[in-house]
Amino acid sequence: MNDIELDLKKLKDSSIEEKIKLIELEKQFLEHEKTTTEQIKSLEYAVNEKDSTIEQKNMKIEMLKVQINKINAELSEKKKILDDFELEKRKWSEEKKLLIEKIDKSKSENEEIIENYKKKFDDLQELIKNKEAEFENERNSLMAEITNEKNNHKEELIKLQEDFEKQKEKLIKEFEQKLKEEKENYQINENIKILIGENQFISQINEILKNVKVRVLLILPHLDDLNNIDLSSIDENVSINLSTRIDLKNPEHENIISNLRKNYNIIVRNYESEDLWGLKKDGDSLLLASKLESGEYFGFFTSDIKNVNLFSVIISDANLRAKKIGF
């Protein structure tokens, strides 16, 4: 074999080796490409998973934002309600203060009126006493004269005695009628009528009950006072709230309440204070009387809506303070 052939053989062998290396490199490249492709897919999957997780978290964040906004709205609403309540509370406190001041002033004025009545009563009693003394002195004087001239002045003496009794009776009746008119007809103004004593309260309550249509709230010092109250004109559909002093150990009181429940649409509560006569009818009429230090009751009746609204809080408060009964 000559040199040329040797060179060609070497070149051929070298070319074969190069092809083998190239094939090997191509094979490695394909393997690397496959591995890289799988890694890329794996990374894409991981990225997609991350995106999904992020999207879910974003949705949760949005839901939390909605819930937070809802809670904030509810808190704002509740704060507004609390603010409104505080405003109403302050308003009610101011109205209560004004009401107490007005009641105290009215009580002072009423005590002055009662004191004036008492003075008039004392003056009239003194006048009657003086007149009786005058008549008695005159009678005694005449009796002395009659003793001396009995036979001549017998008829005149009888007439004088009759005149004395008539004058005395007339004076007493005039006093009683004047006192009665002042007590029954005295008014603070055209909308408020003064009432003094249980007889006037009972009479006014019975008159009001004749016209009740929907509801009535009644406050009595004692359940026994109900014996003087006429409920017969009240329709069975009328709602009655009664607060009064009840002897829970008294079987008669239990029977009275049982009969009331059978015959009327009524709620009965135990009000132990015994310091009020009160009635509120259909929101258009009100009677209120309180107990004075002397033990007597003094009050008024009104059908003026402003006065009804003003003083009804006293009756409502008494009813709320009254307790439910166990039978």
Task: Choose the weakest-confidence range: 119-128, 265-274, 315-324.
Answer: 119-128
Rounded average pLDDT over 111-132 = 69
Residue 215 contacts residue 209 (beta carbons within 8 Å): no
Average pLDDT, whole number, for the chain?
Answer: 77
Amino acid at 182: E
The confidence score (pLDDT) of residue 56 equals: 77
The confidence score (pLDDT) of residue 311 equals: 86
Q: For residue 161, which of 171, 146, 151 has the smallest C-alpha distance? A: 146
The confidence score (pLDDT) of residue 168 equals: 38
pTM: predicted TM-score of the whole model, two decimal places: 0.44
Q: Compute the distance between CA of residue 175 and CA of residue 173 in angstroms, rounded to an integer.
A: 5
Q: Over 70: is that where the pLDDT of 10 sits?
A: no
pLDDT in tens, 49-104: 776 777 777 787 778 777 877 877 887 787 888 777 788 778 877 877 777 777 66
Residue 271 contacts residue 243 (beta carbons within 8 Å): yes
111-150: b (≥16 Cβ within 10 Å) or e? eebbeeeeeeeeebeeeeeeebeebeeebeebeeebeeee
β pairing state of 239-245 and 265-270: parallel
The confidence score (pLDDT) of residue 116 equals: 72
pLDDT in tens, 265-284: 999 999 998 889 999 999 99
- Written as six digits, the tokens of 273 are 């204070």
Strands ordered across the beta sheet of 276-281? 187-189, 192-196, 297-302, 285-291, 276-281, 215-222, 239-245, 265-270, 323-324
The confidence score (pLDDT) of residue 4 equals: 63
Neighbours of 88 (CB within 10 A): 10
Categorize the per-residue pLDDT at 174 as very low, low, confident or very high, splitting at 50, 70 and 90: very low
Q: Over 60: is that where the pLDDT of 160 sits?
A: no
pLDDT in tens, 13-40: 666 776 677 677 777 767 776 776 777 6
Most confident of 41-45, 58-62, 153-157: 58-62
